């Protein structure tokens, strides 16, 4: 896939509601996915959808997911149409009317059939990408999966072929009547309360020797925005 | 529904993977839902699931969702089996092996058929609950929906009858071999990097008169944890 190509929406990946919030640059899709830590995977199980949070990683235009080979949802996802959504909540939008209250957000929605990865090299690549997305530097610094762990892990791949991105930013979109008609001395407050995900201070495992140094791969992220 | 009753899982709301992380108190379900600002709604549209982020509000054991009457996903959800999931990411869990890397989180998953609310009083209740969940105090302080806005808004209700809660906390669950076999002088770091959602400084709407006071309903939340 040409990663410089714009998103070419199909019927279901065409944003209809709030179309002015839609983005069609592939770079926007990558940015929203790369900034997240977990997404929500939707799978049809029996006669109803199931939505579960899960980690992920991106390699070019392939998204990798993983889970226990025993997980019913992952089994149901294999080869089936799924939807994978990553959302960042960026702000609470206070308006002058209840109706125009909203949120600022960035959201990527990926549609497609999840492919069970069976090639050993691609399985390792997927697990590396997943680990590095969650914890950069951990793949090199920690013990790699052994044969038993690999056998217990299913790796799924989802092509970023059919996807949509929606982003809302900025102040409320109030009606003119509510802005113009405001009490000049005591107007209803409107604006945005930003929401940010932040990383805190590292909490060492109690089984580490006392005083074990926090490595740069962890320390560099502490007290900074998540993602 | 007896809100003091424990969650009584059905087959699909019984946590199988990571069962030790399952909670069965209804209070845990309420706490996870009440602490969130957005959830992810899964709906079957045609032959595939669609997962979209959306606001919500809870009144006793009813969850209210809303959206434009023109939204295809909301139309597909009406009367249909849906899944609504709220997840809080609480930490990145660094382990001594790639396999045991994980996240700390709180997650509530609700299954059920979404009911289109048609009673005018319940519709208003649902919208009040939704508005107050996102922006406490806003329902009283801002203009209520007028007839045209109400006509454009669909309100859905989802009973909290069938739901599951999973919570992971604490340090990594490393293998004994990786803990015991560690290089005493240079052990692989393991532990948790906490993740928190926080609210920032209010950003006033540019259309407000200069110097308009930030009301307590907004100021009280600023610079505090979200939810």
Within this chain, do residues A104 and A138 fall inside the same structural domain, yes or no? yes
* Dist CA B174 CA B101 (whole Å): 9
Which residues on chain B are in Cβ contact (under 8 Å) with A91?
203
Rg of chain A over all Cα atoms, to the nearest angstrom: 21
In a domain, A2, yes or no: no
Quick check: A31 and A88 in contact, CB under 8 A? no
Residue A4 has pLDDT above 60, yes or no: no
Residue B135 has pLDDT above 60, yes or no: yes
Say whether A218 and B101 touch across the interface (CB within 8 A).
no
Residue B120 has pLDDT above 80, yes or no: yes
pLDDT at A3: 44
Tens digit of each residue's pLDDT (9 = 90 or more) over A75-129: 899 999 999 999 999 999 999 999 999 999 999 999 999 999 999 999 999 999 9
Tens digit of each residue's pLDDT (9 = 90 or more) over B19-68: 677 887 899 999 999 999 999 999 999 989 999 999 999 999 999 999 99
In a domain, B185, yes or no: no
Which residues does A101 contact at the CB level (< 8 Å), separation at least 6?
A93, A94, A95, A172, B131, B134, B135, B138, B142
Within this chain, do residues A161 and A212 fall inside the same structural domain, yes or no? no
Within this chain, do residues B164 and B221 fall inside the same structural domain, yes or no? no
Chain A: nearest CA to B81, how far in angstroms? 5
In a domain, B1, yes or no: no
The mean-pLDDT minimum among A66-75, B117-126, B130-139 falls in A66-75
* Dist CA A145 CA A149 (whole Å): 6
The mean-pLDDT minimum among A8-22, A104-118, B141-155, B182-196 falls in A8-22
pLDDT at A21: 79
* Dist CA A1 CA A60 (whole Å): 9
Q: What is the dihedral of CA A24, A26, A30, A31, to 10 degrees?
A: -50
Q: Which of B92, B107, B102 is nearest to B174 (CA)?
A: B102
pLDDT at B1: 42
In a domain, A1, yes or no: no
In a domain, A9, yes or no: no
Quick check: B8 and B164 in contact, CB under 8 A? no
Within this chain, do residues A83 and A136 fall inside the same structural domain, yes or no? yes
Residue A12 has pLDDT above 80, yes or no: no
Which residues does B19 contact at the CB level (< 8 Å), separation at least 6?
none
Domain extent, residue A207, equals: 197-227
Question: Residue A82 phi/psi, 5° resolution?
Answer: -130, 170
Average pLDDT over residues B126-133: 98
HSE of B49, CA atoms in CB hemisphere, 13 A: 33
In a domain, B179, yes or no: no
Within this chain, do residues B100 and B205 fall inside the same structural domain, yes or no? no
Which residues on chain A are in Cβ contact (under 8 Å) with B194?
199-201, 203
Within this chain, do residues A222 and A136 fall inside the same structural domain, yes or no? no
Question: Residue B168 phi/psi, 5° resolution?
Answer: -115, 130
Within this chain, do residues B111 and B208 fall inside the same structural domain, yes or no? no
The percent of residues above 70 in pLDDT, for chain A, comes to 94
Within this chain, do residues A105 and A205 fall inside the same structural domain, yes or no? no
Within this chain, do residues A45 and A103 fall inside the same structural domain, yes or no? yes
Average pLDDT over residues B86-94: 98
Average pLDDT over residues A140-169: 96
ipTM of the prediction: 0.94
Question: Cβ atoms within 10 A of the Cβ of A153, count?
Answer: 18
DSSP assigned state of A149: H
Tens digit of each residue's pLDDT (9 = 90 or more) over A200-212: 999 999 999 988 9
Quick check: B210 and A191 in contact, CB under 8 A? no
In a domain, B180, yes or no: no
* Dist CA B152 CA B67 (whole Å): 8
Within this chain, do residues A145 and A218 fall inside the same structural domain, yes or no? no
Which residues on chain A are in Cβ contact (under 8 Å) with B193?
199-200, 202-203, 218, 221-222
The mean pLDDT value of chain A amounts to: 92
pLDDT at B185: 87
Instruction: Specify the residue for token string 């919570």.
Output: B167
In a domain, B146, yes or no: yes
Average pLDDT over residues B109-131: 97
Within this chain, do residues A109 and A162 fall inside the same structural domain, yes or no? yes
Minimum Cα–Cα distance from A142: chain B residue: B97
pLDDT at A17: 67
Burial B127-166 (b: 16+ CB within 10 A, else e): bbbbbbbbbebbbebbbebeeebeeebbbbbbbbebbbbb
Residue A7 has pLDDT above 50, yes or no: yes
Say whether A41 and B47 touch across the interface (CB within 8 A).
no
Chain B: nearest CA to A27, how far in angstroms? 21
Number of domain units in chain B? 2
Q: What is the DSSP string of A94-125?
A: E-SBSTT-EEEEEEEEEEEEBEEP--HHHHHH
Within this chain, do residues A189 and A216 fall inside the same structural domain, yes or no? no
Q: Which pairs from B118-123 meet CB under 8 Å and 24+ separation?
A: B122/B155, B122/B157, B123/B150, B123/B153, B123/B155
Say whether B203 and A191 touch across the interface (CB within 8 A).
yes
Q: CATH number of the domain at B155, please.
A: 2.30.110.10
More confident call, B210 vs B108: B108
Candidates B132, B142, B223: best to mutate against A (most CBs of A within 10 A) is B142
């Amino acid at each position: 896939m040409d990663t410089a190509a714009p998103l070419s929406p199909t019927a279901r990946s065409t944003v209809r509601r709030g179309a002015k919030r839609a983005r069609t640059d592939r770079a926007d899709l990558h940015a929203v996915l790369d900034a997240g830590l977990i997404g929500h995977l939707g799978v049809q199980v029996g006669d109803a959808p199931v939505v579960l949070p899960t980690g992920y990683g991106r390699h070019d235009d392939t998204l990798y997911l993983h889970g226990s080979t025993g997980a019913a949802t992952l089994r149901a996802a294999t080869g089936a149409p799924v939807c994978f959504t990553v959302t960042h909540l960026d702000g609470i939008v206070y308006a002058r009317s209840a109706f125009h209250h909203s949120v600022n957000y960035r959201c990527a929605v990926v549609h497609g059939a999840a492919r069970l990865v069976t090639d050993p090299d691609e399985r390792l690549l997927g697990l590396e990408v997943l680990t590095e997305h969650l914890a950069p530097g951990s793949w090199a610094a920690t013990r790699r999966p052994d044969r038993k762990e690999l056998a217990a892990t299913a790796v799924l791949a989802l092509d970023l072929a059919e996807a949509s991105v929606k982003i809302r930013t900025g102040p409320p979109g109030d009606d003119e009547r509510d802005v113009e008609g405001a009490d000049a001395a005591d107007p209803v407050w409107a604006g945005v309360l930003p929401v940010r995900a932040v990383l805190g201070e590292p909490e060492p495992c109690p089984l580490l020797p006392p005083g074990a140094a926090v490595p740069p791969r962890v320390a560099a992220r502490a007290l900074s925005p998540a993602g």
